[in-house]
């Protein structure tokens, strides 16, 4: 008897989706529900873990197992789950506030350990659930209810943070780039270690059009460069009027249409080097308009490194074999043990 083919509808829960009308979270939810059926994984093997925030309502809307945990701690909960149940496909949904502020340490340690979980960080550069305070990714000068004179904080760069923590898969997409976002999700799902995906997500209530330089159709062609492994970094309204070549420890835009440069002068994107220096340089390149360097979307880094849970399991199995124990009870009662007698009456 063959299993029924799953569809996106099978991953839609019976809960009313309660985000503000027009929120970018709807588009991300749609993408995830569309990709999950393609992965060939039984629905009961999916788990979605979240922290606190608008994005963290995600588990309620997925017809999978899920856990709405506590503020910033979703990576910790997901790590424990993946180590004890490595057969499960564990996804973390977090936001720029939940994941990079109170949850910053939990995030970076999940990344450095290379736990086999998938982390989707929705970045809208604002605290939406608590009504519009500035977040760790808000730009300098951002005026909010908590920074009425403008923020003086230098914002986090999520991609650079992930690379600095040793993440083995790092990517970026955009909520409304549906085809691109689905491709990135498929790549993340196939990765054996931690997959970190930053998703530009519009909060149309408290920070509308924060990424208009990326999403606006009139500026998108010059404002975005798509990273495709093995292909030159070319972009523009027709896909190849401009290119990026390396200039010292950065990149510069060259005019391919004029004929002075060709795609052979452009950097051919490589997501696989063990040294993340090139990816880190790319992570620094995020402009705010057509006059700047374009904003990269796609996979910045993808390298294969043994996952944390595989190391833990191998260690346990090795110890079990060394001690001759067959069960957890045998293991706990083998080797040097003591019997504590109650004191005499």
pLDDT score for 2 = 43
**Strands 242-247 and 169-174, how do they pair?**
unpaired
Instruction: State mean pLDDT over 103-109.
Output: 95
269-286: pLDDT as tens digits:
999 999 999 999 999 987
Q: Higher-confidence residue: 345 or 248?
A: 248
pLDDT score for 82 = 97
pLDDT score for 290 = 53
> pLDDT at residue 323 above 90?
no
Beta-carbon count within 10 A of 42 CB: 11
Q: What are phi and psi of 288, to 5 degrees?
A: -125, 10
Instruction: State mean pLDDT over 199-219.
Output: 92
pTM for the full model? 0.91
DSSP codes, 45-61 = GEEEEE-SSSGGGHHHH
CA–CA separation, 166 and 300 (whole Å): 13
pLDDT score for 3 = 58
Q: Higher-confidence residue: 209 or 339?
A: 209
Which of the four pLDDT bands, split at 50, 70 and 90, describes residue 344? confident
pLDDT score for 1 = 35
Instruction: State mean pLDDT over 251-260.
Output: 91
> pLDDT at residue 243 above 70?
yes
Please tell me the CATH superfamily of domain 8-230+270-302, with its number.
Thiamin diphosphate (ThDP)-binding fold, Pyr/PP domains (3.40.50.970)
pLDDT score for 291 = 60
| 140 CB burial (10 A radius; 0-12, 13-18, 19+) | exposed
Q: Which residues pair with 48 in a beta bridge?
A: 66, 91
**Strands 195-200 and 224-227, how do they pair?**
unpaired
Which of the four pLDDT bands, split at 50, 70 and 90, describes residue 168? very high
Per-domain residue ranges of the chain? 8-230+270-302, 231-268
Q: What percent of the chain has pLDDT over 90?
A: 80
148-158: pLDDT as tens digits:
999 999 999 99
């Amino acid at each position: 008897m063959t299993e029924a083919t799953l569809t996106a509808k099978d991953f839609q829960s019976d809960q009313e989706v309660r985000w503000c009308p027009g929120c970018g979270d709807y588009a991300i939810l749609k993408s995830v529900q569309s990709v999950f059926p393609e992965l060939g994984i039984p629905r009961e093997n999916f788990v979605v873990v979240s922290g606190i925030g608008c994005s963290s309502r995600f588990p309620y809307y997925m017809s999978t197992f899920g856990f709405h945990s506590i503020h910033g701690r979703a990576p910790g909960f997901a790590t424990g789950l993946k180590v004890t149940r490595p057969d499960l496909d564990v996804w973390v949904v977090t936001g720029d506030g939940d994941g990079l502020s109170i949850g910053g340490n939990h995030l970076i340690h999940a990344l450095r350990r290379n736990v086999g979980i998938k982390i989707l960080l929705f970045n809208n550069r604002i605290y939406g659930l608590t009504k519009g305070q500035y977040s760790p990714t808000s730009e300098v000068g951002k005026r909010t209810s908590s920074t009425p004179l403008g923020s003086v904080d230098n914002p986090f760069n999520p991609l650079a943070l992930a690379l600095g923590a040793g993440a083995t898969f790092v990517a970026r997409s955009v909520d409304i780039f549906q085809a691109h976002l689905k491709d990135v999700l498929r790549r993340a799902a196939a990765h054996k270690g931690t997959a970190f995906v930053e998703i530009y997500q519009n909060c149309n209530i408290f920070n509308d059009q924060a990424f208009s330089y990326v999403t606006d159709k009139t500026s998108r062609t010059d404002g975005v460069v798509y990273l495709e492994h093995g292909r030159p970094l070319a972009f523009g309204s027709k896909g190849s009027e401009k290119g990026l070549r390396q200039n010292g420890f950065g990149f510069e835009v060259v005019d391919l249409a004029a004929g002075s440069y060709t795609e052979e002068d452009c950097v051919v994107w490589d997501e696989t080097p063990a040294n993340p220096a090139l990816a880190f340089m790319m992570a620094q390149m995020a402009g705010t308009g057509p006059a700047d360097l374009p904003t990269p979307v796609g996979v910045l880094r993808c390298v294969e490194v043994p996952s944390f849970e595989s190391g833990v399991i191998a260690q346990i199995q090795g110890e079990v074999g060394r001690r001759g124990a067959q069960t957890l009870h045998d293991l706990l009662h083998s080797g040097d043990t003591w019997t504590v007698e109650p004191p005499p009456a």
